[in-house]
Amino acid sequence: MAVPDYQTLMRPLLEAMQDGQPHLVRELTEQIAQHFQLTERDRQELLPSGRQTTYANRVGWAKTYLAKAQAVETVGRGSIRITERGRELLRRVPGRIVQSDLLIYPEFQSFKEAGRSRVPGSQPTLPSQRDQVQISPEEQLDTLYAELSAALADELLTQVRSLTPQQFEVLVVQLLVAMGYGGSVRDAGQALGRSGDNGIDGVVKQDPLGLDKVYVQAKQWTSNVGSQEVRNFSGSLTYHKAAKGVLITTAGFSANASDTARQIGNIILIGGDTLAELMIQYGVGVVTRNTYLVKKIDSDFFEGI
């Protein structure tokens, strides 16, 4: 049979985890292939890009959408588990689960809106509404690219939160160097050290000569950073003789913390979402899978011949 679309895969994926135990994604992928009696040829069918199999890609998107709806949760690398919301979804939707069934969940709505907000001038429209609106192929590409980026950022942040403190330190060092701070990886690694609160801190160079210095703290937290931590961070700037500061967290910042940073003026706050976006922008922890070139007619060429 043909490889099922990702929406058709969502229900079997949830049903395969009803025991409530963590399951390796690769084992679930094999189990669902057997459920649909996919042949080896079906499983090896490639996407038009030739970079990934169609089946693996669709299982990946089924998992991603269910995770955005918090119907499944990541438990360690490569493993997922059904949540109570996932069980409720199975009870609420008797047959095939489709994307619109997930839109009742605020987290999934936020994920979809986050993707659309990356496209300049895009309007928040639900899939059923979008089908009725004629948009250009370029707009469709932009929207799909934004959705891919949003999904990647979320998956990337999940990976970052699962790192050990030592791995998190390596990540922060490499990101700072990729952004042009800290000099070499060796210099930045020597400048940063453990702060004792599940994070790291240190003073890094802002320019190659080290004329300007930036005080950096990075916290691998799951709860939001509050205003008191921002004030403490501000006080540390003077102690470390740094004129500017960057406070990074894998979580987020409270409204009071953001207000405090704005009032202080020389502190930049980088929350989990921004951290993931910076990693994508500077190529840390990600690789380019596909590149699509969209070309147009060269009018100057034809006018000049």
Q: Render pLDDT for 188-218 as a digit per residue (tens, 0 to 9).
A: 767 777 666 556 778 887 777 777 788 888 8
What pLDDT sits at residue 198? 53
Alpha-carbon distance of 9 to 194, in angstroms, equals 44
The 3-class secondary structure across the chain, one letter per residue, is CCCCCHHHHHHHHHHCCCCCCCEEHHHHHHHHHHHCCCCHHHHHCECCCCCCEHHHHHHHHHHHHHHHCCCEEECCCCEEEECHHHHHHHHHCCCCCCHHHHCCCHHHHHHHHHHHHCCCCCCCCCHHHHCCCCCCHHHHHHHHHHHHHHHHHHHHHHHHHCCCHHHHHHHHHHHHHHCCCCCCHHHHHHHEEECCCCEEEEEEECCCCCCCEEEEEEECCCCCECHHHHHHHHHHHHHCCCCEEEEEECCCECHHHHHHHHHHCCEEEECHHHHHHHHHHCCCCCCCCCCCCCCCCCHHHHHCC
Q: Render pLDDT for 235-270 as a digit per residue (tens, 0 to 9).
A: 888 887 888 899 999 999 999 999 999 999 999 999
What pLDDT sits at residue 130? 45
Instruction: Note the maximum CA span of the chain.
Output: 70
What pLDDT sits at residue 100? 95
What pLDDT sits at residue 89? 98
The alpha carbon of 170 is separated from its chain's Cα centroid by a whole number of angstroms, namely 19
Alpha-carbon distance of 59 to 78, in angstroms, equals 13
Residue 18 has which token pair?
């009803």
Residues of the chain with pLDDT under 70: 115-136, 189, 194-199
What pLDDT sits at residue 56? 93
Phi-psi region of 147 (alpha: psi -120 to 50; beta: other; left: phi over 0): alpha
Residue 258 has which token pair?
């953001």
Cα 160 to Cα 93, 170, 172, 219, 272: the distances in Å are 33, 11, 10, 11, 9
What pLDDT sits at residue 138? 76
Closest CA relative to residue 159, chosen from 83, 236, 78: 78
Question: In this prediction, what percent of the chain has a pLDDT beyond 90?
Answer: 52
What pLDDT sits at residue 115? 63
What pLDDT sits at residue 94? 94
What pLDDT sits at residue 48? 78
- The terminus-to-terminus CA distance of the chain in angstroms comes to 52
Domains of the chain are: 1-102 (1.10.10.10), 165-270 (3.40.1340.10)
* CA gyration radius, the chain: 23
Query: Would you call 139 exposed, middle or buried from its count of C-beta atoms within 10 A (0-12, 13-18, 19+)?
Result: middle
